[in-house]
Structure 1
């Protein structure tokens, strides 16, 4: 069974058994032994083994409450929003974090804060490389407003350990919790909310959050022009990235190149390495896809500089704002290489609507697709 079959089987089992009750139980984190209330497909979506738009087409008649569709739409929205406000990524990538207590950071990363729920989530993050969406919000809120740690470090910690780590969703979700996406309205964890949606699994939830919270400041960001469609091919080689591995209906494209290279990148912001398990997972996905494309080869990011020295023009499937794009852009700019990015039509179409809040974006998507 190839990786696409495995991912689709996981989705189909969820649709058949749990989609109808998703709206009722989606916010509950019952623990690692009971995840039937969530789909467990995020690690496939973030690498586009499962394609967001195809999932929505598949379930739009079955998801009566539209809550699962909304979850998929959040990922599309975050990607589009970051593309519309590229300066947010630049600010995040180049940020110099404010003063913080290094001992608190060490305790947080090792799961030794004394806050039962938080320490349990750190263990789950490190061991299982996953957290329930609601727990991610609680975690980020405790990290920022309870432990007083920079949100940027928390965002990078997630990217190191999450199998479904996605630059746009992760970065902008942490900004949302911090109050930077919602006009200084941060998300604040509470003992009562955690107890309710974890069914009182934790005993020691001593979250010390001041009633007066100094909201985090950020510069004002202005929207930029989205990329335009460019004809292809312009080169005889094509580069793919681990966060867009969907090859459905693309063999004609692949066959137009002498070689397709799939880049394996294990570094975050040129300084943080992915955890071993996340790196191995990405490698396994890349190897699976490489086996399905006859003229493909895996390219390590550490070999990129030597590899690109032989070319003046390359084509690449656009990976979206994030570490993969930064990596390839840095090398091509330094070596004066022309790069032609190939975009997905659906992305360019819907990113146009991701300029303000999520609900305006959702309403536009629903209208266009008769949902």
Structure 2
């Protein structure tokens, strides 16, 4: 099946049959056997098989409460915020362990004795997905009960989630840790977990550290959002797995003799995605490759071959994250000029994502008169 049809069928089914009850049921995690209260589209949106702005257009007629609309806006906001504050990303990827955390292996293996947490570890490994509310509880227990660095938790998520996204994942973990807000961490509680999991877990007892040390990030200045260049400088175009929405882009692809879709399985200094996540991404890439007449799949380990023959390369901008780090690294090493091709909607709305979410939300609704 065409991947775009598959993704839109999932989205349309949710909008038609379950959107009306989303605002009431969205916080409940009923377990892997029942995900009817959520949309199940995150693995498509994180790769832009479903494009955020197209989803918002669909929702205009149906989402009366705007609860689900806000969830899509959060994705745009996270992307824009990281673009405006790139130093957050560099601090995260440059984090080095300076302590021997004795309980790290137990946490990653699901041997903590905290029933809900250990179950979520199994779910991550087996199904490569967690309900959004459970991600918050998981992160809180990881940080404030097990005393583990949020950076290691964020890396663990990226390794195992089908919908792993550099901006949403990194900034959501920082939000739980209290670094995105005014030193207000998200603290999981037994009462909350029991309520929203319908008492599925027997051993949800855990303690929260009384010595919560939160390092507040205070960006001195926002980065400037780039300006789109409306010309090409290369005969080849590169694109990555986190922006594969090719709809209405045939004119762009026709400008190039070859379009390379980069498969980036090693995402940072030898840190690899899990085998299942890599296989999932490659499946998406292969599907897209069949839909672009002049395309070819290229492994990230072979990307340097391109730089031997080209001084200029056009790249569909992948956003702050591992893919951007990869292309910038190779370009710098080989003295290649990169021309990034941006999406107009991104450049327009990212400018408003330089402070809090609700300011961004207000600006978005004002601009779109929603």
Q: What TM-score, normalized by structure 2, do the two folds share?
A: 0.98
| Map of 1:231 onto structure 2 | 230
1:282 Cα deviation from its structure 2 partner: 0.4
2:190 aligns with 191
Distance in 1, Cα, partners of 2:209 & 2:350: 38
| Cα pair distance change 1:98/1:359, threshold 3 Å | farther
Following the alignment from structure 1 to structure 2, what is the Cα–Cα distance between the partners of residues 333 and 232?
Answer: 22
Equivalence map 1:185-334=2 (5 Å): 185-218=184-217, 220-334=219-333
- How far, CA to CA, are the matches of 1:20 and 1:124 in structure 2? 27
Pairs aligned (count): 370
Where 1:76 maps in the other structure, the secondary structure is: helix
Q: How does 1:1-371 map to 2 (within 5 A)?
A: 1-101=1-101, 103-218=102-217, 220-371=219-370
Kindly indicate whether the alpha-carbon contact (under 8 Å) linking 2:85 and 2:219 is maintained by their aligned counterparts in 1.
Answer: no
Bigger shift: residues 282-291 or 263-272:
263-272
**d(CA) in 2 for partners of 1:167, 1:212:** 29
Tell me the CA shift for residue 227 of structure 1: 0.9
Instruction: Render the CA deviation track for 1:337-366: whole Å, top value 9, x for unaligned.
Output: 000000000000000100110001001111
Deviation for aligned residue 1:214: 2.2
RMSD: 1.1
TM-aligned CA deviation for residue 16 of structure 1: 1.2
Query: How far is the alpha carbon of 1:100 from its aligned partner?
Result: 4.5
Structure 2 runs not aligned, ≥5 long: none
For the residue of structure 2 that corresponds to 1:292, the secondary structure is coil
Indicate the SS of the match to 2:15: helix
SS in 1 for 2:290: helix
Please tell me whether the aligned partners of residues 182 and 216 of structure 2 are also in contact (alpha carbons under 8 angstroms): no
Structure 1, 64-73 or 267-276: larger mean CA deviation: 267-276
**Is 1:259–1:296's contact at 8 Å kept on the other side of the alignment?**
yes
Structure 1, unpaired ranges of 5+: none
> Structure 1 residues 126 and 221 mapped into 2: Cα distance closer, same or farther (>3 Å)?
farther
Runs of 4+ in 1 over 6 A off after TM superposition: none
Is the 2:235–2:258 contact (alpha carbons within 8 Å) kept by the matching residues of 1?
yes
